[in-house]
Amino acid sequence: DDIEKRGEEGIKEITKKFDNYEGDVVVSKEKIEEASKKIDQKTKDDIKFAHDRIKKFAEHQLKHLNNDFEVELSKGVFAGQRLIPIDTVGCYIPGGRYAHISSAIMAITPARIAGVKTIITASPPKDQKGANEGIIYAANYCGADVILNLGGVAAIGSLTYGCFGNPA
């Protein structure tokens, strides 16, 4: 209720209280580049390997799901199916006790392949620098449009209500 009423102000208070974080909520391009430089090549290779596999499967899956149809059930009464990607999706990537880099790959990649227009990712800040660098790198690599340093209810509230200049 507090997030719905107070929006970004409420989210920042919750983030300070539960994550002891007062830094930038939206991860900047500079922070993404900085995270990329800190990630070792083996981790980058592993992320690329997993992304390529998940992307290949998602592309194949999409081909088999994209069977729009219409059937006339009785004279003038039609029923059918048409798959349309949603405009915006929020991907929550756990990163509190452990960095769940694989969750970023598995959530963002299929959404991108499905044709979702805006992918917003949220992951809790691990310290005053923000979210885990591996999660930031993977989210960016897989096609997230926005990465937020938010965890728990603050993240879900921000994604739900469209805070920090993002669609709901």
Q: Determine the pLDDT at residue 34.
A: 96
Report the DSSP pairing between strands 88-92 and 118-123: parallel
- State the pLDDT at residue 19: 93
At 97 the pLDDT is: 81
Instruction: Indicate left, alpha or beta for 152 from its phi (over 0: left) and psi (-120 to 50: alpha).
Output: left
Which pLDDT belongs to residue 8? 95
pLDDT of residue 56: 97
The whole-angstrom separation of Cα 55 and Cα 106 is 9
Give burial (CB, 10 Å; 0-12/13-18/19+) of 101.
buried
Residue 22 has pLDDT above 80, yes or no: yes
Task: Give pLDDT, residue 65.
Answer: 83
Asked whether the beta carbons of 163 and 11 are under 8 A apart, the reply is: yes
Sequence-ordered alpha helix ranges (H) in the chain: 2-6, 8-19, 29-38, 41-65, 101-114, 133-142, 152-161
Q: Copy the structure tokens of residue 101.
A: 């880099």
pLDDT in tens, 107-140: 999 999 999 999 999 999 999 999 999 999 999 9
State residue 118 phi and psi, 5-degree precision: -130, 120
What tens digit of pLDDT does each residue of 44-97 get? 999 999 999 999 999 999 988 878 899 999 999 999 988 888 999 999 999 978
- The pTM is what? 0.90
Instruction: Please give the pLDDT value at position 123.
Output: 98
pLDDT at 28 over 80: yes
Nearest to 61 by CA among 115, 109, 114, 112: 114
